[in-house]
């Protein structure tokens, strides 16, 4: 039976306790809100009803009969429309017959005969949902009853909204804590233990008797390390004695063994054993293992969270700033802020790769984060659609640098055998930030407005740089000749060549071109065009609230977080991910087709979920396949993957403009169907044209 590792046990225990406690909190919070909200509504309706009762009793005390009230219709309708929680207002006589009744659509006036009460107002209502007032006339004589009914549908809908918001916040908190938990476990447990393990392995394999073994700062492993040091310390002393004896023994035997082959071989074997163990005045050089990929998770999570706050409302914010632009349709103009962001991301990707090589991971990440923070701050002050386009371009420039820097960090910690899993770690942090940012942005935009969220994002982008102190500077300590470290060292890079020469070399290779043109770009058009641009506008046209739009959009990231790493670990078993990529691309297009045949919020949300599942199979494996291409290895992983990531961003740039043009011509549903058909057809071409033989 396979044992569960220590780090996973810790994660499972903490996650289990966290989920149980959050579920209890959810139940208590929703029930408490429901009770307090009902009390607040009752208090409000009691005040409204009391004021109306006073006005009606004034008429009764002047001698006007309760059956001869005039002008009630506009008065009651005004009260109902100004008070959301009121469903109806009714006036009954002392016998219980309805004389007047008004709801949001109709006004009813009876003559007091039995059986004329509009019973539909009282269905499913208890005394807790009805506010009644006894009306009196002259000499405090009872004349009738005033009844105010609560709008149960609105009350229940508001409770459901609060429950959904609370559940979303709980989900976000769990995902955020999980990202930071991976970081804490890697920093305090996994990496120290593996460093100590590598030290012990070097002592045993290389025979370095006086090497200093790292401590884990965990009691039990450190006790074992201490015992190990005692054992090889005693061995050290004994071995010194053996060396001193051998140094005097073998020179004396040299003349005797010169003509004796058997004794000569025996002496040679003994000397090789003696020389196997040696003393070196050195500290062992450590290679940070694969688990170090988790060290960049919190920094990447916070940065992506900052930028993703606007995902669910950016097209809507652009529509607020839009003024007619000559020769440019509104639908295309609304997509320009997204296109400018993607264009500068496209341009800055190789810049991020170059900076990471020259100044290190930390400084490159910091530079990109600061640029994005400035862009987010300016975006919050945009007054026109053109200024919004320019400011989003600044955000994109910083985003591309951070994206490439973080990805190169992951690549340096992995090999071809576990790169898909490493990329899944990257995607998990990336989509975790996207999910949390889009959901929180959708909920808060209803409450604090769009502009405030851009300013909050600028602050978050700066805060993300705090975690850079926990990652390496960017220079790999792997000695290429060390056989012990080859399992964690990245592949050696080729000599540097110009960007344009690398570009020509890569696109001259058929497999690279096919992968980019028929998989990467179509998938990005499908993702950006649907999730970032079409979905927010489509949901709003279907009547969804802003917070609901944020929740629907976060479904894509949620699927990627939950399944991408598990699927990537499974697909790492296959030498070539070609078929997996093909199926993922094919179903990415099919995922959009239900939106054409069945229009509604549910079907659009289902399309987001299906697209997430499809990309969980294809996205990380696309990067893996790119890194396996011979032409990429010849160019160098850093430059090669940089150009690959830059090329696939062409789809990001084209998607909003293409989607806007399709919307203006055929509408939302047909636009999604056309994008889906294009993605599926491209995947079929990829399967036909990509050759596995060239990469063998």
**H/E element holding 675?**
helix 668-689
Phi and psi angles of residue 327, each rounded to the nearest 5 degrees, phi first: 65, 15
CB count in 10 Å sphere of residue 156: 11
157-183 average pLDDT score: 79
304 and 265 both lie in a single domain: no
What is the SS3 assignment for 472? coil
137 and 252 both lie in a single domain: no
Cα–Cα distance list, 443 to 315, 440, 528, 534, 578 (Å): 16, 5, 21, 19, 40
pLDDT, residue 261, reads 56
420 and 318 both lie in a single domain: yes
Half-sphere exposure for 571 (CA within 13 Å, toward CB): 30
Instruction: pLDDT band for 48, please (50, 70, 90 cuts).
Output: confident
pLDDT, residue 684, reads 92
Domain CATH number, residue 320: 1.20.1250.20
73 lies in some domain: yes
535 and 634 both lie in a single domain: yes
599 and 581 both lie in a single domain: yes
Which one of 47-51, 232-236, 393-397 scores highest in mean pLDDT? Answer: 393-397
492 lies in some domain: no
Torsion over CA: 445, 613, 399, 475 (sign): positive
pLDDT, residue 489, reads 46
Instruction: pLDDT band for 244, please (50, 70, 90 cuts).
Output: low
Q: What is the pLDDT of residues 221-231, one digit of tens each?
A: 767 776 776 77
What's the token pair of residue 311?
């995902």
What's the token pair of residue 675?
């994008």
pLDDT, residue 111, reads 58
397 and 314 both lie in a single domain: yes
Kindly tell me if the per-residue pLDDT of 183 is higher than 90.
Answer: no
Domain CATH number, residue 130: 3.30.450.20
| Cα gap 209→696, rounded to integer Å | 43
pLDDT, residue 289, reads 44
Cα–Cα distance list, 41 to 155, 212, 408, 686 (Å): 9, 71, 56, 60
Per cent of the chain over pLDDT 90 is: 7
What's the token pair of residue 78?
């005004």
pLDDT, residue 281, reads 44
Per cent of the chain over pLDDT 70 is: 78
pLDDT, residue 391, reads 92
pLDDT, residue 100, reads 86
The range of the structural domain enclosing residue 191 comes to 171-287
pLDDT, residue 5, reads 63
| Cα gap 348→424, rounded to integer Å | 23
Q: What is the pLDDT of residues 437-452, one digit of tens each?
A: 888 888 888 778 888 8
611 and 632 both lie in a single domain: yes
272 and 296 both lie in a single domain: no
- DSSP annotation of 133: E
477-490 average pLDDT score: 40
659-685 average pLDDT score: 88
Choose between 695 and 12: higher pLDDT.
12
What's the token pair of residue 107?
């006004």
Q: What is the pLDDT of residues 112-151, one digit of tens each?
A: 544 444 555 555 555 567 888 888 887 788 888 888 888 8
- DSSP string of 597-643? HS-SHHHHHHHHHHHHHHHHHHHHHHHHHHHH-HHHHHH-HHHHHHH
Kindly tell me if the per-residue pLDDT of 287 is higher than 50.
Answer: no
141 lies in some domain: yes
Q: What is the pLDDT of residues 333-381, one digit of tens each?
A: 888 888 888 888 888 877 887 888 788 888 888 999 999 999 999 998 8
Instruction: pLDDT band for 288, please (50, 70, 90 cuts).
Output: very low
515 lies in some domain: yes
Kindly tell me if the per-residue pLDDT of 423 is higher than 80.
Answer: no
- DSSP string of 244-306? HHHHHHHHHHHHHHTT-HHHHHHHHHHHHHHHHSB----PPPP---GGGGGGGHHHHHHHHHH
Half-sphere exposure for 131 (CA within 13 Å, toward CB): 25
Q: What angle do CA 188, 189, 190 make, to 5 degrees?
A: 120
323 and 228 both lie in a single domain: no
Instruction: pLDDT band for 1, please (50, 70, 90 cuts).
Output: very low
431 and 524 both lie in a single domain: yes
2 lies in some domain: no
316-344 average pLDDT score: 85
427 lies in some domain: yes
231 and 128 both lie in a single domain: no
481 lies in some domain: no
Kindly tell me if the per-residue pLDDT of 480 is higher than 50.
Answer: no
| Cα gap 392→345, rounded to integer Å | 10
Kindly tell me if the per-residue pLDDT of 28 is higher than 90.
Answer: no
Residue after which a domain boundary falls, among 227, 257, 287:
287
Looking at the structure of the chain, the number of domains it has is 3
| 8 Å CB contact between 434 and 457 | no
669-675 average pLDDT score: 89
575 and 688 both lie in a single domain: yes
pLDDT, residue 458, reads 92
Residue after which a domain boundary falls, among 233, 257, 287:
287
Torsion over CA: 39, 41, 46, 51 (sign): positive
473 lies in some domain: no
Mean pLDDT of the chain: 77
Kindly tell me if the per-residue pLDDT of 694 is higher than 80.
Answer: no
Kindly tell me if the per-residue pLDDT of 488 is higher than 90.
Answer: no
pLDDT, residue 479, reads 39
87 contact partners, CB below 8 Å, separation of at least 6: 103, 104, 121, 149, 150, 151, 152, 153, 154
Q: What is the pLDDT of residues 551-589, one digit of tens each?
A: 888 888 788 777 877 787 777 777 778 888 888 889 988
pLDDT, residue 270, reads 57
Residue after which a domain boundary falls, among 260, 287, 314:
287
Which one of 31-35, 211-215, 293-297, 420-424 scores highest in mean pLDDT? Answer: 31-35
């Amino acid at each position: 039976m396979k044992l569960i590792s220590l780090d996973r046990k810790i994660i499972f225990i903490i996650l289990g306790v966290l989920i149980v406690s959050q579920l209890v909190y959810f139940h208590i919070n929703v029930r408490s809100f429901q009770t307090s909200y009902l009390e607040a509504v009752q208090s409000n309706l009691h005040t409204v009803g009391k004021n109306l009762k006073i006005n009606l009793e004034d008429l009764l005390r002047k001698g006007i009969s309760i059956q001869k009230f005039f002008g009630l219709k506009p008065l009651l309708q005004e009260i109902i429309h100004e008070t959301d929680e009121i469903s109806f207002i009714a006036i009954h006589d002392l016998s219980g017959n309805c004389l007047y009744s008004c709801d949001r659509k109709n006004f009813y006036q009876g003559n007091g005969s039995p059986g004329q009460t509009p019973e539909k107002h009282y269905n499913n209502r208890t005394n807790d949902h009805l506010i009644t007032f006894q009306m009196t006339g002259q000499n405090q004589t009872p004349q009738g009853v005033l009844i105010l009914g609560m709008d149960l549908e609105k009350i229940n809908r508001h409770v459901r909204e609060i429950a959904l918001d609370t559940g979303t916040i709980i989900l976000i908190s769990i995902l955020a804590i999980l990202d930071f938990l991976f970081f804490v476990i890697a920093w305090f447990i996994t990496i120290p233990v593996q460093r100590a393990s590598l030290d012990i392995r070097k002592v045993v394999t290389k025979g370095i008797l006086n090497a200093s073994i790292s401590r884990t700062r965990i009691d039990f492993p450190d006790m074992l390390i201490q015992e190990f040091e005692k054992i090889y310390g005693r061995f050290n002393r004994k071995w010194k004695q053996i060396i001193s004896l051998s140094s005097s023994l073998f020179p004396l035997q040299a003349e005797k063994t010169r003509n004796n082959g058997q004794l000569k071989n025996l002496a040679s074997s003994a000397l090789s054993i003696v020389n196997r163990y040696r003393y070196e005045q050195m500290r062992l050089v450590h290679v940070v293992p694969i688990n170090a990929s988790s060290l960049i998770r919190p920094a990447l999570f916070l940065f992506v969270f900052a930028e993703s706050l606007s995902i669910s409302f950016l097209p809507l914010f652009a529509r607020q700033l839009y003024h007619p632009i000559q020769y440019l349709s509104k639908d295309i103009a609304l997509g320009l802020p997204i296109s400018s962001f993607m264009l500068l991301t496209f341009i800055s990707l190789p810049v991020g790769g170059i900076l990471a090589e020259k100044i290190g991971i930390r400084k490159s990440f910091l530079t990109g984060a600061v640029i994005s923070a400035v862009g987010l701050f300016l975006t919050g002050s945009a007054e026109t659609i053109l200024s919004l386009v320019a400011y989003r371009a600044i955000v994109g420039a910083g985003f591309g640098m951070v994206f490439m820097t973080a990805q190169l960090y992951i690549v340096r910690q992995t090999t071809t055998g576990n790169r898909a899993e490493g990329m899944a770690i990257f995607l998990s942090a990336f989509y975790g930030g996207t999910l949390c940012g889009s959901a929180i942005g959708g909920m808060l935009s209803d409450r604090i407005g769009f502009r405030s969220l851009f300013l909050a994002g600028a602050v978050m982008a700066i805060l993300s740089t705090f975690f850079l102190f926990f990652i390496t500077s960017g220079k790999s300590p792997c000695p290429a000749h060390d056989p012990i470290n080859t399992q964690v060292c990245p592949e050696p890079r080729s000599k540097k060549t110009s960007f344009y020469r690398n570009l020509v070399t890569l696109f001259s290779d058929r497999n690279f071109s096919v992968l980019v043109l028929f998989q990467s770009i179509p998938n990005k058009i499908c993702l950006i065009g649907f999730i970032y641009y079409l979905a927010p506008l489509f949901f709003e046209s279907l009547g969804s609230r802003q917070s609901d739009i944020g929740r629907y959009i976060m479904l894509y990231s949620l699927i990627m977080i939950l399944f991408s790493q598990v699927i990537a670990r499974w697909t790492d078993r296959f030498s070539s991910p070609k078929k997996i990529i093909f199926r993922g691309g094919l179903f990415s297009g099919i995922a959009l087709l239900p939106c054409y045949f069945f229009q509604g919020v549910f079907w659009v949300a289902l399309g987001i979920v299906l697209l997430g599942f499809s990309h969980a199979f294809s996205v990380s494996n696309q990067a893996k396949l790119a890194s396996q291409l011979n032409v990429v290895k010849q160019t160098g992983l850093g430059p090669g993957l940089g150009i690959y990531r830059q090329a696939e961003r062409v789809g990001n740039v084209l998607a909003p403009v293409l989607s806007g043009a399709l919307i203006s011509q055929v509408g939302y549903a047909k636009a999604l169907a056309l994008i889906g058909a294009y993605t599926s057809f491209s995947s079929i071409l990829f399967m036909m044209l990509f050759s596995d033989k060239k990469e063998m």
